[in-house]
Amino acid sequence: MDFVEVRVQVAPELADILVAELGEVGFDTFEDNDEGFCAYISEPDFNPEAVQEVITRYAGLGEIRHEHRVITRQNWNAEWEKNFQPLIIADRVSVRAPFHPKPEGMDYDIVIMPRMSFGTGHHETTALMIENQLTLDHQGLRILDMGCGTGILAIMAAQLGAREVLAVDVEPWTAENAADNAAENGCANIEARLGGVEVLAGEAPFDMILANINRNVLLEDMGAYAQLLPVSRPILFSGFYQEDLPKIDAEAQRHGLRYQSHRTKNNWVSAIFTKL
């Protein structure tokens, strides 16, 4: 299965509205850029008429240009290698490809090679999640990483001292990629598993949950996450905009999760909740 990338050129004040609307028609990954944003969806789920309907609905509010292309597994790797630059998060975490040299003076060094997987640390949500992880004690914990992408958050958890990490994603190449990246970073305590929330049935509780997905999936699956979290243990959410935080908070409260704090960057949010 390949992805479709829809590249939208639009003013910043209209971009957030379009991202929310495209999320309602199946797009689940977004990347901001200087001209607007890119939205991603698996090719079988792509409906060009639904995209055009969204664009037409808001065309009167400002100029909107859009185009789409299919990104195959092969050209995604080439595209990423061509454009990827090493990244430093919170002055403590290096995120780089295997072909980049290891920087000096970092507390943590994560090596990532995505294969049709999202989550290199360059997107605001991934960086925000890592910044929140750095504030929490992971030592000896059993941790769940839902929507693991490249496995970057699972690897961060392992490097922070987690005893065991289960990384779960619905895309076959993503689970495979997370496993490869875990091995590249010497994290034998990470298990990458294919599937969604259903593969958590029968699992023992987790000491911490990381869920960087998107608003709709978080709202739908939050009850399942809450059932796997002991009292007083944290759950980190990301993949949504600041205006969606009240919805996330309301649903969290329904499942016995209490808001603690959140970080924002370019209107993206990563929030920490704890189980009551």
Going from N- to C-terminal start, the domains of the chain cover 3-71, 118-275
Pick the range with the lowest mean pLDDT from 78-92, 114-128, 226-240. Answer: 114-128
In this structure, what token pair is assigned to residue 158? Answer: 């392992």
CA quadruple 164, 183, 170, 201: dihedral sign: negative
3-71 and 118-275: identical CATH topology: no
Supply the pLDDT for residue 114. Answer: 65
Give the separation between CA 53 and CA 20, rounded to whole angstroms.
14
pTM assigned to the model: 0.78
Most confident of 82-91, 92-101, 128-137: 128-137
| Higher-pLDDT residue of 80, 108 | 108
Confidence of residue 119 (pLDDT cuts 50, 70, 90): low
Pairing of strands 87-89, 93-96: antiparallel
In this structure, what token pair is assigned to residue 103? Answer: 């920087």
Give the separation between CA 224 and CA 239, rounded to whole angstroms.
18
Give the separation between CA 245 and CA 237, rounded to whole angstroms.
10
| φ, ψ for residue 256, nearest 5 deg | 75, 30
Task: Judge residue 83's burial from the number of C-beta atoms within 10 Å of its C-beta, 0-12 exposed, 13-18 middle, 19 or more buried.
Answer: exposed
**Which 3 state secondary structure label does DSSP give 104?**
coil
Confidence of residue 143 (pLDDT cuts 50, 70, 90): very high
Supply the pLDDT for residue 73. Answer: 62
Closest CA to 78 of 113, 110, 41, 102: 113
* Superfamily of chain region 118-275: Vaccinia Virus protein VP39 (3.40.50.150)
Supply the pLDDT for residue 100. Answer: 85
Mean pLDDT of the chain: 89
Closest CA to 272 of 129, 167, 176: 129
> Tokens 């409260």 belong to which residue?
253
> Tokens 């908070």 belong to which residue?
249
Name the CATH architecture for the domain at 3-71: 2-Layer Sandwich (3.30)
Asked if 273 and 260 touch (Cβ cutoff 8 Å), the reply is yes
How many CA atoms are closer than 13 Å to the CA of 171, on its beta-carbon side? Answer: 24
What is the rounded average pLDDT of the residues 175-185?
A: 91
Give the separation between CA 203 and CA 35, rounded to whole angstroms.
44
Give the separation between CA 21 and CA 256, rounded to whole angstroms.
29
CA 27 to chain centre: 13
27-71: per-residue pLDDT in tens? 877 777 788 888 888 888 899 999 999 999 998 888 999 999 887
On the question of pLDDT at 135 being above 90, the answer is: yes
CA 242 to chain centre: 15
228-273: per-residue pLDDT in tens? 999 999 999 998 889 999 999 999 999 999 999 999 998 899 999 9
Report the percent of the chain where pLDDT is more than 70: 92
| Higher-pLDDT residue of 44, 173 | 44
